């Protein structure tokens, strides 16, 4: 059975790149009838944030990414890690290192002067003497000093590391007894039965260390897939300067979770030339061997295009529910469905949609200066006044259109002579959906009042 996991550190909110990693692991598990696990890697007690951990869970709920079993917190497993540290010590595969800070600083200076790669020199690897006083030891793994570590990466292919070039006896437990990242990851992935690890290629340098630990502990090494990073439009690694990167910020900006996930799955994965994927399609089609070796570019326009697509296609009830988060309660609006349907065709985000709806539903407090100067004059005001007189009953959009065409013929005017001044009267701007749909949504009485307000301005 395929078992994948997402294992974020709660030192900040869930980053957009982290969500992509979670999505890939989720899809691979679901596509193969496997398990997807969530583990919070909170062993760094000084940097951890309870709010950040809760934000990760909140983002998962918003994106409807369910996980199997209970969420695991590493901070509740310290006793377990200590057992495995002791196991390695007892088997002679790890040792206590009493190197002082002064010793370490002196070694680093020597290596820098000799233009050597900074690395621990193994001076306590076979130490059997009396421990120095006043020094709490760290625990180091006995890493291979020569040879090659190699594995078949699901994205990058065959990977080889020369042990002498990249490894030293790295620390698995700090002087206060807390375990290090690479050690806890191996213990947890092995004991949780993780078979496949999909993660960013910034973790590639950790892989040989983790393989050393898997082998020292007698655990099976999982299959690794190292995914190329997401870059901003300038080609640099995606960061805050490229826009919002916290997942929940996208909700606040009016993006639907379906659009964001569809956008992210395509940042590094493809299925032919297809662009739009429902969650069911993603679960059916996702294959990590189709992940790209090249970095992806974050394209805001593509995200907006996808969001526009989903706004057009999700149910009316879903949009009513979503728009509540943006201060728009449509439950009491008589023609709510007509309003939503008229706006969904032209909205890129829910924020844009909510603002457009409010602009229609609320009497304008002011008028766009440019639109007012262009469309409001003595002739247009006279035409609006005459038009107001025929608004004596509530009709549907087609009824208003038929009545308006007759009115324009009788007054020797064209639709453009009336429509734009009417938009200014109704919304304060020259932009709106179909003017006849707008009149149906508001009703004759409301439109008459807004025309009168403009005329008396």
Annotated binding site for ATP: 240
> Quick check: is 240 catalytic?
yes
- 153 three-state secondary structure: strand
Instruction: Please answer whether residues 342 and 434 qualify as being in contact, where contact means their C-beta atoms are separated by less than 8 angstroms.
Output: yes
Q: What's the rounded Cα separation, in Å, for the pair 5 and 189?
A: 8
The Cα–Cα gap between 9 and 40 comes to: 6
In whole angstroms, give the CA distance from residue 309 to residue 277: 11
Are the C-beta atoms of residues 55 and 286 closer than 8 Å to each other?
Answer: no
Phi, psi of 138 (to 5 degrees): -90, 170
CA 300 to chain centroid = 13
Which segments of 94-162 does DSSP mark as H helices, in order? 101-113
Catalytic residue among 240, 252, 293, 414: 240
The rounded distance, in Å, linking the Cα atoms of 6 and 391 is 60
Half-sphere exposure for 38 (CA within 13 Å, toward CB)? 21
Which pairs with CB-CB distance under 8 Å and at least 24 residues apart come from 267-276?
A: 267/20, 267/230, 267/296, 267/298, 268/20, 268/24, 268/227, 268/228, 268/230, 268/292, 268/296, 269/24, 275/306, 276/306, 276/309
Which residue ranges make up the annotated binding site? 240
Instruction: Name the phi and psi angles at 209, rounded to 5.
Output: -65, -40
- What's the CA gap between 391 and 263, in Å, rounded? 46
Cα–Cα distance list, 202 to 206, 224, 431 (Å) = 8, 13, 47
User: What is the distance between the alpha carbons of residues 455 and 457, in angstroms, rounded to a whole number?
Assistant: 6
Residues with a catalytic annotation lie at 240
């Amino acid at each position: 059975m395929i078992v994948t996991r997402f294992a974020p550190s709660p030192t900040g909110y869930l980053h957009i790149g982290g969500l992509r990693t979670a999505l890939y692991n989720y899809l691979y598990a679901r596509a193969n009838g496997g398990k997807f696990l969530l583990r919070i890697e909170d062993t760094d007690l000084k940097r951890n944030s309870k709010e950040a951990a809760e934000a990760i869970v909140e983002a998962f709920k918003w994106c409807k990414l369910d996980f199997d079993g209970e969420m695991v917190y590493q901070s509740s497993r310290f006793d377990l890690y200590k057992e495995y540290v002791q196991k390695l010590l007892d088997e002679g595969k790890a040792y206590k290192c009493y190197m002082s800070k002064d010793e370490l600083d002196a070694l680093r200076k020597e290596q820098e002067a000799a233009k050597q790669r900074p690395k621990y020199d193994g001076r306590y690897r076979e130490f059997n003497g009396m421990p120095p006083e006043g020094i709490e030891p760290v625990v180091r793994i006995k890493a291979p000093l020569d040879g090659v570590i190699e594995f078949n990466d699901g994205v990058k292919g065959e990977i080889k590391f020369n042990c002498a070039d990249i490894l030293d006896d790295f620390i698995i437990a700090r002087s206060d007894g807390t375990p290090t990242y690479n050690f806890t990851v191996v213990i947890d992935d092995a004991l949780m039965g993780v078979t496949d690890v999909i993660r960013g290629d910034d973790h590639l340098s950790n892989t040989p260390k983790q393989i050393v630990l898997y082998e020292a502990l007698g655990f099976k090494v999982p299959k690794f897939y190292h995914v190329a990073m997401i870059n901003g439009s300038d080609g640099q690694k995606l960061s805050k300067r490229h826009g919002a990167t916290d997942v929940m910020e996208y909700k606040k900006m009016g993006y639907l979770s379906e659009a964001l996930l569809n956008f992210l799955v395509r940042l590094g994965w493809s299925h032919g030339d297809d662009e739009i994927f429902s969650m069911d399609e993603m679960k059916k089609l996702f294959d990590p061997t189709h992940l790209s070796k090249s970095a992806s570019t974050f394209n805001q326009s593509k995200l907006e295009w996808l969001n526009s697509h989903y706004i057009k296609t999700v149910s009316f009830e879903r949009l009513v529910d979503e728009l509540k988060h943006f201060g728009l309660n449509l439950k009491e609006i008589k023609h709510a469905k007509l309003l939503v349907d008229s706006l969904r065709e032209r909205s890129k985000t829910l924020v844009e949609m909510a603002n457009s709806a409010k602009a229609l539903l609320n009497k304008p407090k002011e008028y766009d200066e440019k639109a007012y100067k262009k469309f409001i004059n003595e002739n247009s005001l006279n035409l609006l006044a005459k038009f107001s007189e025929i608004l004596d009953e509530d009709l549907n959009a087609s009824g208003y259109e038929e009545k308006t065409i007759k009115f324009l013929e009788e007054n020797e005017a064209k639709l453009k002579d009336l429509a734009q001044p009417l938009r200014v009267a109704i919304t304060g701007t020259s932009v709106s959906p179909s003017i006849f749909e707008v009149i149906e949504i508001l009703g004759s009485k409301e439109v008459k009042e807004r025309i009168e307000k403009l005329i008396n301005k």
